[in-house]
Structure 1
């Protein structure tokens, strides 16, 4: 391969070959003039005779054959153990009596080197999809979070102090054992399948009327950004299986779709968003009160949509897929 300090770039190779083939220079004279070895000058002259100008380009160093490559029957055994048994490379190597480095090379070549690429339920390679246009499908779901007591939760202050904070938080209901009930925050989330642009609201329940209100406002929010929602995908929760949800979707001209029972992978984009949201907002820092955490959500959503690089869409912010405006233009 040619490089910055190479004696012969493709252009110099062509000059050398023409000196020998067309101008009658000897191989020795051309090698001395271009400061290369005699075999090198001969190689480029012969290649010019065979292929002409096109023969001056670099060739791949990949060998024509691989006599020591792992036999195909053994490759099939490795793939079978990976897909059906979900074994690691050390376990596969032990079963087949071969080096773990060879097993790793085979799994990498077959794109099975990471178990995250394999579906947990079926053992088959994960099938990924993405709709071609914004609004063709949106995902909806609810993330349930425990409310934070005054003074902070146990994740940051420790379990002992967390229990004291729960006990001293005023205005909370108590159970039969007189322990305070802080209840939960229900984050209703909506994410566009194509762009990964997200919309979220926090409520104190996950009833059908609450979910419908979130959907109506989310559809309007996307419409303000030039996106028409066509379909909505949800799990089989009671709110989404209700007649009210069906009628609300009809009023919005949105087709409701549902995941297969006990298969959250179908709605995997929003499940992955929930993990990102938990790391980036819900548990990212110490909040003294639940109201402080709720107040921080809009700012984090803005950062996620307009500034945070998303690896699934080429390390661009999600808003770049539905808007020609630069991330910094939204304030």
Structure 2
């Protein structure tokens, strides 16, 4: 009544319910720091959500602010774009290895230089800690490159218990119709007694950790000046990997720890002791030169049978390097040998040319 007496009809308009004082409100300097951190992290291509900002406030500025408060101030500043159709993270079934080196995930992604040159970036990460073990740029990722980078990672971090990759031909030949045998990488895994795991075809979420790492990597590279050469691109990648492993908090890890902290906090897993041989059977026909071909560990070998067996259909029984060649029609053993992996041609051992008569 007093307000109506003083203001008339204006007394019926809604008024602000904001309290006259807010003792628990964040200081304006902290709010400005939150917005500044958001811009800084976004400028570097790094994660800049409320939990990441809270981690930086606690570890770098000794300020403890809840993620809810940070989210509220980011919304108030107009820095958050709502996405209501986004699938909730609780709908995904998460799994992770229990120890470092228990499982290494690998895959490669694509990137382009300033002149439009296409490159490929090969990534190896630890499933347990998300530690980036090896990230290298190449013109094209091939089988020998995969093997070389894997050996370098093993020399630095030890032999893993298992690997997890997709079904690319640089990782496995299991979908090649049984014609190629094992490639270089598969042969190395068997030699080191490392268990090989491949994802289901057309199911990339199995290798979700390395796929998510690709997204984080590309987001950071986009914020850098475009690289003009592979050497320059590798320099940018190395700087990102150092930041990712040692200074960037990872939300999926306990207490938002860095991957390096988790990777070094537990004993590393080792390969299990097991015996594994590669048994396979393939058919072939003896060529005009009197030989058949067999690919072992990614390398093609010619096995001499004899010219007189030209066009004979044969069965080749291979158990690792032990090879037996059988006439498919009669069952006669035409050749039984231990393959020499250093030689392309496996000779029959018979003397060449006609026999010379003794004088």
Using structure 2 for the length normalisation, give the TM-score.
Answer: 0.45
Q: Higher strand proportion, which one?
A: 2
TM-score after normalising by structure 1:
0.48
Higher helix content, 1 or 2: 1
